[in-house]
Amino acid sequence: MHMTAFEGVSRGCSRFYRVYRNGVSMADKLTGLYPTDRAWEREGKPHPQRGVLIGGPGARRKHYDMTGLFVLHVGTATGGVWYLLTQPTNWTIWSLFIVGYLMSNFGFSVGFHRYFTHRSFETSKTMRYVLGIMGQMSAMTSVKYWTADHRRHHAFGDRPGDVHSPIVDGHGRPMGKVKGLLMAHFGWLWDNAHTDMEVFGKGLVGDEVVEFCHRTRWHWIAFSYVVLPVAWALSFGSAADIIGCILLGTGLRNFIFMNGVMGTDSAAHLFGYRRFNDDSTSTNNWFIAILTLGDGWHNNHHAQPRAASNHIGWWELDPNGWTIFAMEKMGLVWNVQRRAKSRVPLASAELSYPDVHDIPTKPSVMFPESQPAQALQDA
């Protein structure tokens, strides 16, 4: 007997009500979007590394957040390309593109990355709010989750447990080069492995500034994509520039910067040169360094993550490091971590998250030293 459309809708509504009242079935509880992830979860296997969780509300939260942000980035960037190809542009739109890019990079690369994750310097509570809010305006998840994820990346660089490795997926399974590149760039956004905040959230969970930025993150994204471009257009141009400022000056700009950040996870682990043979595949990639204003010197960064600057060779320009040093001169930051001349840890470099050597692990990828380490030069 065939169901009518009305009966189908009715049963669907009834099922939704039962789920709402009584919880979900086993099939509904599975959070894996990839078949291999669902199979892993169906078997009830935990992740092989401490600090990484599989499935549950955390995985669903990750999928909702990342999907919403991905749609925002791709949608507005597509609109930005359309505007660039079909509409006249002017200095009002391009000035927002440039200023906004510098703002996003400052908040994300200097704030999320070098301050909140690695504590490359200390600063005031007011400046912490500035860094956190400007980082949220880049529309790449919250400072709380991104920082915890990035700590996990450094703890398990290219080994089972890494968040976004081109070598192993979120469950620690080996991948080929093409799949690895895609998964490290954006595919990891929809796997069902997520960071255990009890392990990697130390100093983040409960922190007043971090929790405020996390709680209000969508407000700052709305400010970045709507309020700021509208105000910029009306202040420096006219109402006719509003659409261009939203789509090109903001949407396409943030999309380009986002791919620079993601390229650090993917391209800067596959393409480029290696100054240090560490236990990850990190490389120095000049193209990614341009997009991220210095974070693309990724192998230098992995060698001493807390260093405020990635600059070693004269050509390895690091505007992010220059910014931190300039802020130090102005008294806005202090206790800036300089790069040591050797590979020993920086002074006072106590990690605020578990070191990989303190976590039981079986490295799947190692790059042993084949020759004495090259001495670092001062920045």
Q: What is the DSSP string of 33-96?
A: SSHHHHHHHHTTPPPSSTTEEESHHHHHHHHHHHHHHHHHHHHHHHHHHHHHHHS---HHHHHH
Helix (H) or strand (E) holding 221: helix 217-222
Instruction: Encode pLDDT of 104-129 as tens digits.
Output: 999 999 999 999 999 999 999 999 99
The average pLDDT across 152-177 equals 92
Query: Could you read off the pLDDT of 275-288 as tens digits, one per residue?
Result: 888 668 899 999 99
Q: Are strands 52-54 and 193-195 parallel, antiparallel or unpaired?
A: antiparallel
pLDDT at 142: 95
Q: Which positions ≥6 away from 150 have C-beta within 8 Å?
A: 112, 113, 117, 163
Report if residue 355 sits inside a domain.
Answer: no
Q: Is residue 82 part of a domain?
A: yes
> Is residue 8 domain-resident?
no
**CA nearest to 309, candidates 378, 249, 230, 211:** 378
232 occurs within a structural domain: yes
What pLDDT was estimated at residue 360?
Answer: 38
Residue 113, classed as helix, strand or coil, is: helix
Q: For residue range 227-259, list pLDDT tens digits in order.
A: 999 999 999 999 999 999 999 999 999 999 999
Is residue 357 domain-resident? no
Q: Is the pLDDT of residue 356 over 90?
A: no
Q: Residues 301-333: pLDDT tens digits?
A: 998 999 999 999 999 999 999 999 999 999 999
Look at residue 146 and tell me if it is in a domain: yes
Number of domains in the chain: 1
Residue 133 has pLDDT above 50, yes or no: yes
pLDDT tens digits, 78-101: 999 999 999 999 999 999 999 999
187-191, 297-301, 333-337, 346-350 — which is least confidently predicted? 346-350
pLDDT of the residue at 139:
94
Task: Examine residue 12 and state whether it is found in any structural domain, yes or no.
Answer: no
CA distance 282 to 301: 9
CA distances from 107 to 94, 209, 249, 325, 370 (A): 20, 14, 17, 16, 38
pLDDT over 50 at 349, yes or no: no
State the pLDDT at residue 28: 55
CB 58 within 8 A of CB 145: no
Residue 89, class by beta-carbon neighbours within 10 Å (0-12 exposed, 13-18 middle, 19+ buried)?
middle
CA-based nearest residue to 95, from 221, 227, 250: 250
- Tell me, what's the pLDDT at 343? 52
350 in a domain, yes or no? no
Does the structure show a pLDDT above 60 at 353? no
Question: What residue numbers bound the domain in which 79 lies?
Answer: 51-271
pLDDT for 279 equals 66
What is the average pLDDT across 69-85?
97
Residue 274 main-chain phi, psi, to 5 deg:
-120, 120
